[in-house]
Structure formats: C-alpha cells, structure tokens
Amino acid sequence: MNSSEWFTEQLPEAGTAFSLKIKQKLHEEQSEFQFLEIYETETFGNLMVIDGCTMVSTRDNFFYHEMISHPALFTHPDPKRVWIIGGGDCGTLREVLKHPSVEQAVQIDIDERVTRLAEIYFPELCESNNDPRADLKFIDGIKWVKEAEPNSVDIIIVDSTDPAGPAVGLFSEAFYRDCFNCLSEHGMVVQQSESALLHMKLIGEIRNAMSNAGLSHLQTLFFPQCLYPSGWWSATIAGKSDLSRFREAESANKPFDTVFYNIDIHKAALAQPEFFKKAFGL
C-alpha cells in the first residue's frame, strides 16, 4: 500500500499495475507457506492478497470461480468425482457442488489458513463447505495426485496461484502425467492458465506439457477477471477424449443460479482469438 491508501499489484515485466482504493487492512499473517493479507476496499468488497498478488475479491470472484468449473463439468458426460487442487477460498468448491451429478468433491489445499480466513472474510464462498459431498484436505496436492489410484477421479481442477512458490509443480508435465494416470475414461484436467495478453509463453508451455502427458485434447477458454493482470484471464482444459461438444441442453436448463456463466457465455468462451489460433496452429 502507498501513502494514498491504495493497494497496488505491479507486473514490472509487462509494464502494468492494478490498484484498488483501500478502506482498511483487516488482517495479515505469515502462514507456514505464504504471506496472507485481507483488505476492505472501497468498491470491491473484501480483498485477499497472497505474497503480494491479488487472489480474490467479493465483487468479481464469480468470473473465475464459475468459468474454471462449469464449462468443464458440462463438457464431461457424467462428472461424479471432482478434485480441486488449491482453491482454498472455497469458491470453486461451491460452484462444483451446484451440479447434482457430483457425488464427491475433494478440495486439496496445502495451506489451511487460506480456508480459515475465507470462512471469516468471504463466508459466501464457503457456503458448501459442510455439504456432505465436500471433503476438505490440507495436504500437498501434488503428492495426493501422485499417490492416487487409477480411475479414481473424473475432473481435476487446478485452482492454483501463479506458478511460483508451492504452486510451481502444478504446472509441470510430471504433474499432468500423474493426473492422466488417475483420471477416468473421459477424465479431464482444468488449469487456470493466466492471461493470453501477457502470458502466451506460459500458456504454450502448459498446453505442451498437458499434451506430452497424454492429455492431447485441449481447449483454452477466455473470460474477464478484473483483479488479475490485464483483466483478461484463461483456463485450459485437457482431456483424455474429445472436448469439442458439451451438454448444451443441460447447460441451457441448469438447475442452479450463476452470475456470469450460461450456455451463450460457454460458447463464446471457446471462441479462439486470431493471434491465439496462429500461435498454436488451431
């Protein structure tokens, strides 16, 4: 924060920054794994910051949480078992459990303090934490996947921080190969894949690592996310089988409320920008 009471996240290599006007700092602590801060902002509600990077706000979290979950769940033919690697704020868990077909959703985040702070400062994101289908584990997600049995999960959502610190291994070919080994027949991995405007090299590395691990069916979808660098974010889905179609009728008649996601948004998110198509030969 500067003297004018603005929180600013700078991205020097891209020559950009994002700022929010702050009312007050509500909390800070150094957990075993990272430095956590909670602010009350003037216009975005509460804000969680991890190691200096914006993570989630009250006002705009729905973009990310809905788009990292619903497109994949409506693409899989019958998603019953879902794992969320990371996702300690519990917003993705809430969205996943809106799907009646889901019988079990395991959230695996290495840092329990993220969840405990979310329960206090973002209680709306934690509404499904006590759902009998929810299982919250505070362990190493990379180790969890490596030790998992074959055919034990339908969708793995990697709701991680940027590829730094404890999240580095979640972007590797070795991790995606372990995911492949424990996924069911039509299984898929969903990875938050940063900004196509600022991080094309990283997106290419993610797509190559997924493909080399055997997850050769790829879709990168795009959505706004004000809080993150450039305001334009992406998620990449990698599957064992074809991802070109989704359950449109069920998406159009979804039995739950969303703020952003609907069938038209799903279709629009799959449209590939021209520079993206040229970069990856699509």
CA distances from 42 to 24, 176, 227 (A): 9, 40, 14
**Best CA proximity match to 101, nearest among 272, 267, 254, 271:** 254
Task: Enter the DSSP assignment of 152.
Answer: -
Q: Is the dihedral of CA 62, 137, 114, 222 positive or negative?
A: negative
CA–CA distances in Å: residue 101 to residues 98, 131, 181, 204, 207: 9, 14, 23, 33, 28
Q: Which residues are catalytic?
A: 159
Instruction: Say if CB 129 and CB 84 are below 8 A apart.
Output: no
E strand or H helix at 235? strand 232-239
Q: Name which of 5, 100, 31, 20 is nearest 56 in CA terms.
A: 20
